[in-house]
Amino acid sequence: MKKRIRTILAPGIRLQITLWYTAVFILLLVLVGVVSYLNVNSTLDANLDTSLALRARQIALGVSNDDGQFTIADVSGELPGLGTASNTATPATSDIGSANGQSSDDSNDDSHQTTPAVATNVDAATLIRIFNSGGQLVYSSLAARILPLSATLPQQAHSGVPWYTTVSLAAGKTVRLYNLPVLRGGTVYGVVQVGASMASIDTTLHSVAFGWLLLAPIVLLLGALGSYWLASRAFTPVSRLTRIARQVEAGDLRKRVPVPRARDELRELALTLNDMIARLDSAFARQRRFVADASHELRTPVSAIRSLTDVALLQEKTPAEYRDILSDINAEAERLGRLIGDLLALARADEGYTPLERVPLRLDSIAHDVAAVSAILARERGIELQVETSGPVVVLADQDRLLQAILNLLNNALAYTPANSGGNITVHVSRDETDAVLSVSDTGIGVAPEHLPHIFERFYRADPARVYAPGSSGLGLAIVDWVVRAHNGSVTVESIVGSGSTFTIRLPLATPATIRSGKNGAI
């Protein structure tokens, strides 16, 4: 049950793309629908207002006032009961009474006969009324009698500025009215009011909304299906890359995924996969070579110990001979222990299990201490060892690991500088703006240029016939490279065959900020 819920809550990429596209379609449809609806509504309202204004101006051309007497001429052909003849009118009491529902008996008869027609035909009838300056009704079309009356004209009528009003009728209908003041000599002497029902606008808007609601689900369904189809086609090359990548096994990393011709994201993905497989192939090759070399190096001291014990057990020896054999066995055991320790240190470093205790250290002082340890071996081999410093150089580092790295460089220099040949080794410590620099230079046999890129690889030998120096495990330079990189530094080598080599370590200088962030330690 939980797995099913997780599957529902975490859909595949195809379904996610489909859902996102559908959400975007919904947003766009809502946005377009609202904008279209408002635009249609605004257009219909504007057209109705323009039509009412034009009709009112036409009717106003036939309205005049001479000495308080209204003369209305139907110049537009839209005034029922007037035809084309001119009529003179005074305030129409009967009309006002009819509009208010208070007419004479004859008016009541007419009213009873026409009111139903007004109620049923207001949507299609002509709504026209004319008022005098006192707000009294002097003319009203039949359908307009349903409209409410006010005792006086609104204040804006005396300003001479036309205005619109919207009236809601008891039947639930809405009427839009345009009021046009009629001027004479700058004085308002009447108002022409023309109206029209807004039922047609409401019907059109309802049709637009219904059509849009009917069309939207179809568009959404087609959009979702199209999105899923496009997503499936887009992920077809990815599926092909995945299928081929699964065929690449750990034992055979020579295969590569095909690279698409199009320079797009899939091409970048294929190139990245091929690079990753190439790196894995190289890593596995190094691992296999490392295991083979480690096995060989471990077998050598073990074989030596077995040979020595076989010799000791073969026949009786004198106490002095036994001491010599035991001394040789002890030396081989120490070499075996150092080799196992170095292998364990590199294995832990590869897994990231080796913590570094960073404290402020004087690099120049450490160089002197390491040189003092190696000085005995240097004297035995007839090699001059000296240290050159230019002043205090402080770094933030792990003391034990830094000592190990510098000692390995000195042991390497001693191993490949011929004994009793007048050779010399120089340790130089200095600083620049950002880094502490320690270099170890020797006058040994040097390294050929083609071997320099591999010099820091584990168990790498430029000359397979060359043996390691006494006490060396064959992993010294690999440990130097690991220690320096763990301290955010770099190590480089320059060498000339027959003239010697120079190994240079660069470490970041300790600053007050880095010292505060590190652990407390003595300088």
pLDDT at residue number 493: 94
Work out the pLDDT band at 365, boundaries 50, 70, 90: very high
Measured at the alpha carbon of residue 391, what is the angle toward residues 385 and 395, in degrees to the nearest 5? 95
Measured at the alpha carbon of residue 316, what is the angle toward residues 312 and 322, in degrees to the nearest 5? 50
Write out the CATH class of domain 265-349.
mainly alpha
User: Quick one: which H or E segment has residue 304?
Assistant: helix 265-314
Q: What is the mean pLDDT of residues 262-280?
A: 82
Least confident of 96-100, 136-140, 155-159, 478-482: 96-100
Work out the pLDDT band at 119, boundaries 50, 70, 90: very low
Instruction: Judge contact between 122 and 177, C-beta under 8 A.
Output: no
pLDDT higher at 167 or 260:
167
- The two tokens of residue 52 are 């009412």
Measured at the alpha carbon of residue 49, what is the angle toward residues 44 and 53, in degrees to the nearest 5? 150
Sheet holding 127-132, edge to edge: 137-140, 127-132, 187-197, 174-184, 163-168
- Give start-end residues of each CATH 3.30.565.10 domain in the chain: 357-517
For the ranges 50-59, 100-109, 254-263, the one whose mean pLDDT is highest: 50-59
Is residue 89 pLDDT above 50, yes or no? no
Side chain identity at 510, as an amino acid letter? A
Is residue 110 pLDDT above 70, yes or no? no
Residue in 30, 39, 40 with CA at minimum distance from that of residue 217: 30
pLDDT at residue number 388: 93
Side chain identity at 49, as an amino acid letter? D
Backbone φ and ψ for 350, nearest 5 degrees, come out as -65, -35
Terminal alpha carbon distance of the chain:
62
- Give start-end residues of each CATH 3.30.450 domain in the chain: 61-197
Give the three-state DSSP class for 265: helix
Measured at the alpha carbon of residue 452, what is the angle toward residues 338 and 279, in degrees to the nearest 5? 80
- Give the tens place of pLDDT for each residue, 219-236: 888 888 888 888 887 777
Residue 322 to residue 328: CA distance in whole angstroms = 10
pLDDT higher at 87 or 303:
303
Least confident of 65-79, 303-317, 392-406, 453-467: 453-467
- The two tokens of residue 295 are 């096995």
Q: What is the mean pLDDT of residues 274-288?
A: 80
pLDDT at residue number 78: 67
Instruction: Judge contact between 42 and 50, C-beta under 8 A.
Output: no
Q: What is the mean pLDDT of residues 421-443?
A: 92
Q: What is the mean pLDDT of residues 304-324?
A: 85
pLDDT at residue number 514: 66
Is residue 111 pLDDT above 50, yes or no? no
Residue in 154, 152, 157, 139 with CA at minimum distance from that of residue 96: 139
The topology under which CATH files domain 61-197 is Beta-Lactamase (3.30.450)
| Count of beta carbons in the 10 Å neighbourhood of residue 503 | 25
Work out the pLDDT band at 360, boundaries 50, 70, 90: very high
pLDDT higher at 320 or 474:
320
What is 357-517's CATH number, 3.40.50.720, 3.30.70.20, 3.30.565.10, 3.30.70.980? 3.30.565.10
In the numeric block, the tokens 């300088």 are attached to 523
Q: What is the mean pLDDT of residues 60-74?
A: 78
Is residue 296 pLDDT above 50, yes or no? yes
| pLDDT over 70 percentage in the chain | 80
Residue 177 to residue 54: CA distance in whole angstroms = 12
pLDDT at residue number 95: 38
Residue 132 to residue 139: CA distance in whole angstroms = 10
Side chain identity at 330, as an amino acid letter? N
pLDDT at residue number 513: 67
pLDDT at residue number 462: 60
| Count of beta carbons in the 10 Å neighbourhood of residue 397 | 30
Work out the pLDDT band at 82, boundaries 50, 70, 90: low
Side chain identity at 362, as an amino acid letter? R
Instruction: Judge contact between 424 and 413, C-beta under 8 A.
Output: no
pLDDT at residue number 34: 92
In the numeric block, the tokens 């026949």 are attached to 315
Work out the pLDDT band at 357, boundaries 50, 70, 90: confident
pLDDT at residue number 11: 67
Q: What is the mean pLDDT of residues 255-262?
A: 76
- Give the tens place of pLDDT for each residue, 437-480: 999 999 999 888 888 888 888 777 665 544 444 445 567 888 89
**Mean pLDDT over each residue of the chain, to the nearest integer:** 79
Residue 506 to residue 356: CA distance in whole angstroms = 18
- Give the tens place of pLDDT for each residue, 180-229: 998 887 788 889 999 998 888 888 999 999 998 898 889 888 888 888 88
Is residue 481 pLDDT above 80, yes or no? yes
Residue in 69, 197, 55 with CA at minimum distance from that of residue 121: 197
- Give start-end residues of each CATH 1.10.287.130 domain in the chain: 265-349
Q: Give 94's contacts (C-beta < 8 A, 6+ positions apart).
A: 103, 104, 107
* Strand-pair category, 490-496 with 500-508: antiparallel
Residue 472 to residue 331: CA distance in whole angstroms = 12
